[in-house]
Amino acid sequence: MDTYCVFGHPIEHSKSPWIHARFAQLTGQALAYRKILAPIDGFATSLQTFQAQGGKGCNVTLPFKTEAAALATRCSPRVSLAQACNTLKFDGQEILGDNTDGLGLVNDLVHNASCNLQGKSLLLIGAGGAAAGVLGPLLCEKPRCIVVVNRTLDKAVRMVNRHAALALAEGVDCQAFDLQHEILHSQAFDVVINASSSSLHQGELPVPSSVLSRHGMACDLMYGPASQRFMDWASSHGAEPRDGLGMLVEQAAESFQLWRGVRPPTAPVLAELRALLAQS
């Protein structure tokens, strides 16, 4: 049976084995998918071992996404822009690297949440691996503008500069600011995306409520109880809250399609996963 896995550290929390098992059942594909805890300084060795044992491909999560991009022998343009890779496919001695995080977010917003991004104003909070993975696919939806804000300005500037040619080609005004910039007090956005790990640390909300639009969308890439504070904050200011669970399922579907050439249905899997998490 073809085998796949997700590497991370920690990895116990990962829902990917459950999601891929459901995709396999629903598409009639015979595959096994497990989680592997790679040592912090041992991702390359763990990957090599898995490949040598006949593994067909893998997902990669924190903190190995940058290292995965470096280990891939051939990368998609999305990986080059993001400098991070969440999906590897083994093809003989070749390791193909892709980043499906951004496609996952866009599919969730556009198809599951019916939030068309074309012509909209977007605020992207964060400039870490997740933000880098979603910026390119967000630009490809041709919003009017994307404002990227991050605690460390320099990281946001470098990320936006890396995407400058794509922003120009798509006709999107894309700028970077820090979290103290006055634009956060003077402009409301159609769509606010929290790609920072503020919810993970349960700290202060990273931006003031003045960024939220009534009936706009506010999405935290976090999911589960940790995203509740952001979601409550968004809905208390009239915005439509969304967590990152849909993105998680949609990015997995993109990986599954890359490996198996088959598109799994995501709506039933997302509904089941949401129900499962609500029970636990």
Which residues carry out catalysis? 65
Continuous H helices in the chain: 16-27, 43-52, 65-71, 77-82, 101-107, 129-139, 153-162, 164-170, 183-186, 198-201, 228-236, 245-260, 267-279
Tokens encoding 241: 């809250």
> Is residue 200 within the footprint of ligand NDP (CB under 6 A)?
yes
Q: Are strands 57-60 and 87-91 parallel, antiparallel or unpaired?
A: antiparallel
Tokens encoding 66: 């940058």
Binding mask 111-150 for ligand NDP (x = CB under 6 A): ---------------xxxxxx------------------x
User: Which residue in the set 14, 83, 99, 196 belongs to the binding site for ligand NDP (CB under 6 A)?
Assistant: 196
Distance of alpha carbon 25 from alpha carbon 248, whole angstroms: 18
> Is residue 266 within the footprint of ligand NDP (CB under 6 A)?
no
CB 267 within 8 A of CB 124: no
Under rule CB under 6 A, how many of the chain's residues touch ligand NDP? 28
**3-state SS, residue 249:** helix
User: Which residue in the set 13, 201, 214, 215 belongs to the binding site for ligand NDP (CB under 6 A)?
Assistant: 201
Residue nearer to ligand NDP on the CB measure, 144 or 151:
151
Residues 79-118 close enough to bind ligand NDP by CB under 6 A: 101
> Is residue 54 within the footprint of ligand NDP (CB under 6 A)?
no
User: Which residue in the set 160, 176, 195, 239 belongs to the binding site for ligand NDP (CB under 6 A)?
Assistant: 195
**Which distant-in-sequence residues (6+ apart) come within 8 Å of 270 by Cβ?**
112, 245, 246, 249
- Binding residues for ligand NDP (CB under 6 A): 62, 101, 126-131, 150-152, 155, 195-201, 203, 206, 221-223, 244, 247-248, 251
